[in-house]
Amino acid sequence: MPTIREWKVLLISAAVLISVYLPIFLYLTSEAYLENDPMYNEIYGLNEE
pTM across the whole model:
0.48
> Is 18 inside any structural domain?
yes
Q: Where are the beta strands (DSSP E) in the chain?
A: none
Chain centroid to CA 27: how far?
5
> Is 32 inside any structural domain?
yes
Number of domains the chain is built from: 1
State residue 26's pLDDT score: 83
- Domain range for residue 37? 4-44
Output the average pLDDT for the chain. Answer: 79
Say how far apart CA 49 and CA 46 lie, in whole Å.
Answer: 9
Cα three-residue angle 12-29-38, rounded to 5 degrees: 145
State residue 8's pLDDT score: 95
Share of the chain above pLDDT 90, in %: 37
